[in-house]
Amino acid sequence: MESLVILFTETLGKYVSREVVIFVISLMPLLELRGGLLAASLLNVPILRAIPICIIGNIIPIPFILLFIRKIFQWMKNFKIFRGFVEKLEARAMKKSDSVSNSEFIGLMLFVGIPIPGTGAWTGSLIAALLEMDVKKAVVAELCGIVIATIIMSFVSYGLLGAIVH
């Protein structure tokens, strides 16, 4: 992930502000808030400015995924070229769904909040949609997870001293 963040900060950073760079990174699957805060630290964006930008960027895709991904996947399966890709994404998400389906709210919150590879709001939203979780419940669980991820990644990206000083 770090190499992707560096690539985006170096390429995008030539054309847009540091804040736009961290916002775009926070919107992206795989990178999300975790990558956004890492990029913010690398770009010397103060933590109190970076956190809201990263949170907003990470939140924006959630409702679209929860509400539309099943319909989009169903439509894409009508085309042979996309069918394998969609089925692979669904299978991968469902493989990770055990931790979420046992205790939906807490499971989804922790899945989104604990920053390990393959977790986050994008995958959490996909799992919630495929498990047909209540949308309101899923959104609240994911928002709580994003708060957890923000706290953890702030300390990882900026360090304890950086979090206090900035």
The winner for highest mean pLDDT among 93-97, 100-104, 133-137 is: 133-137
Residue 43 contacts residue 13 (beta carbons within 8 Å): yes
**33-44: burial string, b at 16+ Cβ within 10 Å, e else:** bbbbbbbbbbbe
Mean pLDDT of 16-36: 93
Asked if residue 165 has pLDDT above 90, the reply is: no
Binning pLDDT at 50, 70 and 90, where does residue 166 land? very low
Model confidence pLDDT, tens digit, residues 66-77: 999 999 999 999
Across the chain, mean pLDDT equals 89
Looking at residue 101, its pLDDT comes to: 67
